[in-house]
Structure 1
Amino acid sequence: MLNIQVKTLKQFGCVKIYREKASGADSERLQLEKLIASLGEDDIVVVIRMDRFARSTFDLFSIVKDITNKTVWFR
């Protein structure tokens, strides 16, 4: 599953790919934190599967808010 997601991200032209294998119940998501901290203006965050990105709808809205507050695009 992870290999397919990475392959798809590369097809989109993604250069930096953050990978994290953590439980959905785990609140510490170091790779997600690194991703958000590394974002610069006009960067684009590409997500292949929302269910792999956020644990809940509330969590998804919170993450997307953090990303878009940095003047970054979310796909």
Structure 2
Amino acid sequence: MLIGYARISTDDRNLNLQKDALVSAGCEKIYSDRISGAKATRAGLTLALEVARTGDVLIVWRLDRLGRSLKDLIEIMSILDERGIGLSTLQESITTTNKSGRLIFHLFGALAEFERNLIRERTTAGLVAARKRGHKGGRPKALDPAQRQLAVKLYTDGQHTIMEICRLMGISKPTLYNYIAEMNT
């Protein structure tokens, strides 16, 4: 069975162009969403995937209607692949029901993985360079060292409850416990 999926990003657009193309392609059922492709949950796509069975083909007008990013497309393609469902695009003329179409998707997957590795390497290099310049990552401390010592002293003296200390110092309980642990190490 040929199952169509159409998506538009905003309400001011119209699905007719995509739906007409999907009907012309022979789709028996068409599901659609009026939502950004960046949104993880798309009810129409979820329903189309639930209805699709092994041997069916999911048809989209263009590849970008199926997913916003290459990573997203690869994830969706993996789901389709596991379930034995083909994918076909009308505009790009890509189909995974043949060997050359599957090759294209495997190349996309390799490129996506390469891109993720490059991003990871650049991020790590940036963090190392920042540390060499003396920058410490993470959220800044809520209190300066003297205030932290005072909070811990109030705690160890036992004259105030934890909630009183937190209210007085303007910090949360976990922050107070972190300062206590920091002073004890």
TM-score (norm 1): 0.90
Amino acid aligned to 2:53: G
Q: Which has the higher strand share?
A: 2
Distance apart, 1:45 and its partner CA: 0.7
Query: C-alpha distance in 1, partners of 2:44/2:57?
Result: 16
Q: 2:70: which partner in 1?
A: 57
Q: Which has the higher helix share?
A: 2
Alignment of 1:27-66 (within 5 A): 27-66=40-79
Residues 15-49 of structure 1: CA deviation (Å, up to 9, x unaligned): 11011000233221111111111111110111111
Give the secondary-structure state (helix, strand or coil) at the position aligned to 2:44: helix
Give the count of matched residue pairs: 75
Q: Which runs of 5+ in 1 are unaligned?
A: none
Query: C-alpha distance in 2, partners of 1:25/1:39?
Result: 23
In angstroms, what is the RMSD of aligned CA positions? 1.2
Q: 1:17: which partner in 2?
A: 30
Q: Indicate the structure whose relative CO is greater, using CA pairs within 8 Å and at least 6 residues apart.
A: 1
Distance apart, 1:57 and its partner CA: 0.3
Q: 1:67: which partner in 2?
A: 80
Query: C-alpha distance in 2, partners of 1:71/1:26?
Result: 25
Distance apart, 1:64 and its partner CA: 1.1
Q: Which runs of 5+ in 2 are unaligned?
A: 1-13, 89-185
Amino acid aligned to 1:62: E
